[in-house]
Amino acid sequence: DAMVIQNPRYQVTQFGKPVTLSCSQTLNHNVMYWYQQKSSQAPKLLFHYYDKDFNNEADTPDNFQSRRPNTSFCFLDIRSPGLGDAAMYLCATSRDHATLWGDQPQHFGDGTRLSIL
Amino acid sequence: SQQGEEDPQALSIQEGENATMNCSYKTSINNLQWYRQNSGRGLVHLILIRSNEREKHSGRLRVTLDTSKKSSSLLITASRAADTASYFCAHKAAGNKLTFGGGTRVLVKP
């Protein structure tokens, strides 16, 4: 089945130690998103890629970076994780740019829960 | 903030009862979407209603949209234990991104 896969499901890292979360998709969608979701809160968009074009949200900390080496994969890099970065990180895709305007649904992976020691 | 508001924040019902949750937003929209999130999982798209639609059905789900009041409601009829989840509305806000409401946590007791 076509899907969005996030690895690992659970990630533990030390304060200040760089960490990378990965996302892959078999949907062949052009747009990939990264969201941060803290407990009992709404998902918050960090950034998205439309194909190779990177779009950062204005309030996303510089500590967060992303890479998209090809259509199928997208990575979230946290350069120096702080305690406040502990959260669920969700990857999502949509078929094309029109979805950015909310015209089509987004397809989510099951997330990576990040803990900071 | 452009984030939508949802109420109630939490809802507890018996299996077989109906569950209703509401969503309000502040900007004009092209459409509004509802998503479900089971504990520890990603979001699953449930239904999309366009701004020129007033009501939409999908199985046991019924969504209404009132653009004059900038509000929407999601009704789950004949609820089941498997409907236990958080439900989020989402709409296009400033910057053309999809903005999620705070969610309603629904507990369906068997």
Please state the rounded mean pLDDT for residues A57-76.
95
- What is the pLDDT, as a whole number, of residue B30? 81
Query: A103 vs B3: CB contact, 8 Å cut-off?
Result: no
- State which amino acid sits at residue A92: A
The three-class DSSP label of residue A55 is strand
Rg, Å, chain B Cα set: 13
In chain B, which residue's Cα lies nearest the Cα of A4? B42
Q: Which residues 43-62 in chain A show a CB within 8 A of chain B?
A: 43, 45, 48, 57
The answer for residues whose C-beta is within 8 angstroms of residue A68's C-beta and 6 or more apart is: A32, A49, A52, A54, A74, A75
Residue A2: pLDDT band (50, 70, 90) is low
In the numeric block, which tokens belong to residue B30?
């092209």
A110 to chain B, any CB pair closer than 8 A? The answer is yes
Residue A1: pLDDT band (50, 70, 90) is low
- What is the pLDDT, as a whole number, of residue B55? 97
Q: What does pLDDT average to in each consecutive run of 10 residues of chain B (110 residues)?
A: 76 97 89 93 94 94 96 97 96 71 94
Residue A100: pLDDT band (50, 70, 90) is low
Residue-wise pLDDT tens digits, A18-31: 999 999 999 999 99
- What is the pLDDT, as a whole number, of residue A88? 97
B25 to chain A, any CB pair closer than 8 A? The answer is no
Query: A40 vs B103: CB contact, 8 Å cut-off?
Result: yes
Share the mean pLDDT of chain A: 92
Query: Do residues A89 and B40 lie in contact, with contact meaning Cβ atoms separated by under 8 Å?
Result: no
B48 to chain A, any CB pair closer than 8 A? The answer is yes
> Chain B contacts of A105, Cβ < 8 Å?
33, 45, 48
Residue A104: pLDDT band (50, 70, 90) is confident
Closest CA to B32 of B10, B9, B55: B55
In the numeric block, which tokens belong to residue A69?
């080496």
Best residue in B38, B43, B53, B99 for a mutation probing chain A (most A CBs within 10 Å) = B43
A101 to chain B, any CB pair closer than 8 A? The answer is yes
Residue A102: pLDDT band (50, 70, 90) is low
Instruction: Please classify residue A7 by burial: count the beta carbons closer than 10 Å to its beta carbon, then call 0-12 exposed, 13-18 middle and 19+ buried.
Output: exposed
Residue in A48, A103, A110 closest to B42 by CB: A110
In chain B, which residue's Cα lies nearest the Cα of A111? B42
Please state the rounded mean pLDDT for residues A39-67.
93
